[in-house]
């Protein structure tokens, strides 16, 4: 097992690198952090590799300086429209004479479950086990050693476009960094924010970043739905910029400093001075005018989230909580608005159980990077189940995943 791990979250707004190690008491010790404003991404996908490579180089250098560690390989997140996911199932006959389920039966049934039609140019990056059935008895977490004839596996399969994967690999290679594995962003984020018991009870994590909103839905300890919506906080900033006719930088400042998702909670007489509008005289607007613009867009994002939750078909029976994450979760009043739109208990939370440079990463913007470290650790320091490997090695990784999760 390695002493420390390095992860990179190439977000639409900020590229973040975190170096960390796990202590014997289970705490995550943050050794180094690097971040750089992102350029060259659109809706979470690389559109200009040179610009992205520059941001990667800057954030890696910063994390190296802080940690004193020379980063040679790294685990990267992947999100955006290049990612797709499906539920699938596989069925096999239990192979040995005594009808006792063995490791090899699990491997065969997981392989059978992968027999799905992927989108053109897509590669599987995760095969997440959700549930096993043995002779139609459902809800079995670990069937190894049990007796039965017909073994069925329910899985959640995540795939990503090969070109998007190789662009991340190339951008990292430009800094001399080897890509170790990929993790779907929402899966990583959930690992920073949820414990196993919560996944068992059922939880939803919605990460509203700058360019995309990542959604992951857990039922009975497994992922039943995951998706990405190509909209986020940058769209709110653009709306403010257009609505008030001010530059993007000023709109971003106004959003962060005077923003709220609930226009009705703001004093209707409060006026604020707009920054850097390049006009001779200062310009004042009603704060409520700003919050109305923000509320309209946040409501739209949340309605899109609701459409996805309904599409999952698990919402009607769901009685767990939803956690908001990502930079946009810092908007004042967003939890209340989300509860109103989604009809689900909503909360934001700080990442717990970390030490070292902890205060620098205890924000919702760092949840995905921190969660990647947890995910790698949960896999026993093994590479994740992301593929680009020989099928045999892949199966071994799936088995590792099962060992961690059943």
In this complex, which beta carbon is closest to ligand ATP, that of residue 90 or of residue 211? Answer: 211
Answer with the entry of ligand ATP, Mg ion, none that 255 interacts with (C-beta below 5 to 8 A by kind). ligand ATP
389 binds, among ligand ATP, Mg ion, none (CB under 5 to 8 A by kind): none
How far CA 152 is from CA of 99, 109, 114, 158, 168, in Å, comes to 14, 7, 12, 19, 35
Q: Which is nearer to ligand ATP, 52 or 398 (CB)?
A: 52
Rounded to the nearest whole angstrom, what is the least distance from the CB of residue 398 to Mg ion in the complex? 26
Pairing outcome for strands 28-37 and 14-22: antiparallel
Instruction: Kindly state whether residue 371 participates in binding Mg ion, applying the rule CB under 5 A.
Output: no
Write the DSSP string, 23-72.
Answer: -TTS-EEEEEEEEEE--SEETTEES-HHHHHHHHHHHHHHHHHHHT----
Q: How many CB atoms lie within 10 A of CB 374?
A: 23
Q: Report the nearest approach of Mg ion to the CB of residue 11 (Å).
A: 4
Smallest CA-to-CA distance from 77 within 37, 34, 44 is with 44
Note whether 160 and 82 are within 8 A (CB).
yes
Distance, CA of 230 to CA of 122 (rounded, Å): 19
Q: How far is the CB of 261 from ligand ATP (least distance, A)?
A: 9
Residues that bind ligand ATP (CB under 6 A): 11-14, 38, 44, 79, 209-212, 232-234, 237, 252, 255-256, 259, 326-328, 330-331, 365
**Toward ligand ATP, which CB reaches closer, 148 or 233?**
233
Residue 212 interacting entry, from Mg ion, ligand ATP, none, C-beta within 5 to 8 Å by type: ligand ATP
d(CA 373, CA 21): 8
209 binds Mg ion (CB under 5 A): yes
Which residues does residue 230 pair with via DSSP β-bridges, in sequence order?
none
Binding residues for Mg ion, total number by CB under 5 A: 2
Q: 402 is written with which tokens?
A: 């099962």
Q: State the Cα angle at 215 between 301 and 375, rounded to 5°.
A: 145
Residue 327 touches which of Mg ion, ligand ATP, none (CB < 5 to 8 A by kind)?
A: ligand ATP
Position among 5, 7, 10, 11 found at the interface with Mg ion (CB under 5 A): 11
Closer by beta carbon to ligand ATP, 11 or else 20? 11
In the list Mg ion, ligand ATP, none, the entry touching 328 (Cβ below 5 to 8 angstroms by class) is: ligand ATP
Helix orientation angle between 367-378 and 185-193, rounded to the nearest 10 degrees: 90
State the binding partner of 14 from Mg ion, ligand ATP, none, CB within 5 to 8 A by kind: ligand ATP
**8 has which bridge partners?**
17, 76
Which of 131/365 has CB closer to ligand ATP? 365
Q: Which does 331 bind (CB under 5 to 8 A by kind): Mg ion, ligand ATP, none?
A: ligand ATP
35/33 Cα distance (integer angstroms): 7
Check if the beta carbon of residue 23 is closer than 8 Å to that of residue 29.
yes
Q: How far is the CB of 283 from Mg ion (least distance, A)?
A: 33
Binding site for Mg ion (CB under 5 A): 11, 209
């Amino acid at each position: 097992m390695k002493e420390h791990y390095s992860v990179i979250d190439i977000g639409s707004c900020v590229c973040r690198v975190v170096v960390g190690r796990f202590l014997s008491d289970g705490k995550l010790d943050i050794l180094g952090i690097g971040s750089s404003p992102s350029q060259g991404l659109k809706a979470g996908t690389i559109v200009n590799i040179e610009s992205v490579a520059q941001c990667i180089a800057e954030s890696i250098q910063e994390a190296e300086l802080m940690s004193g560690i020379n980063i040679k390989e790294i685990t990267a997140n992947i999100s955006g429209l290049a990612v797709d996911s499906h539920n699938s199932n596989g069925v096999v006959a239990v192979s040995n004479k005594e009808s006792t389920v063995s490791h090899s039966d699990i491997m065969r049934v997981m392989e059978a479950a992968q027999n799905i039609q992927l989108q053109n140019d897509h590669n599987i990056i995760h095969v997440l086990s959700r549930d096993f059935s043995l002779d139609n008895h459902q809800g079995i977490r670990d069937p190894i050693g049990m007796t039965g004839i017909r073994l069925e596996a329910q899985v959640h399969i995540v795939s990503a476009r090969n070109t998007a994967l190789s662009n991340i690999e190339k951008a990292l290679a430009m800094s001399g960094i080897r890509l170790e594995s990929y993790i779907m962003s929402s899966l990583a984020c959930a690992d920073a924010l949820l414990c196993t018991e919560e996944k068992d009870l059922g939880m939803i994590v919605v990460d509203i970043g700058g360019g995309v909103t990542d959604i992951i839905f857990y039922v009975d300890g497994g992922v039943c739905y995951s998706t990405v919506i190509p909209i986020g906080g940058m769209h709110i900033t653009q709306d403010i910029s257009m609505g008030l006719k001010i530059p993007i930088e000023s709109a971003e400042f106004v959003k962060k400093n005077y923003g709220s998702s609930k226009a009705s909670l703001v004093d209707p007489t409060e006026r604020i001075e707009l920054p850097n509008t390049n006009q001779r005289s200062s310009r004042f607007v009603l704060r409520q005018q700003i919050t109305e613009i923000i509320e309209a867009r946040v409501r739209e994002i949340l309605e899109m989230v609701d459409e996805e939750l309904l599409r999952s078909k698990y919402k009607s029976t769901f009685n767990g909580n939803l956690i908001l994450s990502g930079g946009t979760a810092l908007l004042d009043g967003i939890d209340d608005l989300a509860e109103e739109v989604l009809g689900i208990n909503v909360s934001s939370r700080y990442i717990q159980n970390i030490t070292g440079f902890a205060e620098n990463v205890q924000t919702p913007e760092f949840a995905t990077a921190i969660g990647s470290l947890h995910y790698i650790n949960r896999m026993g320091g093994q590479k994740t189940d992301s593929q680009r490997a020989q099928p045999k090695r892949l199966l071994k990784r799936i088995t590792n995943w099962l060992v961690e999760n059943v």
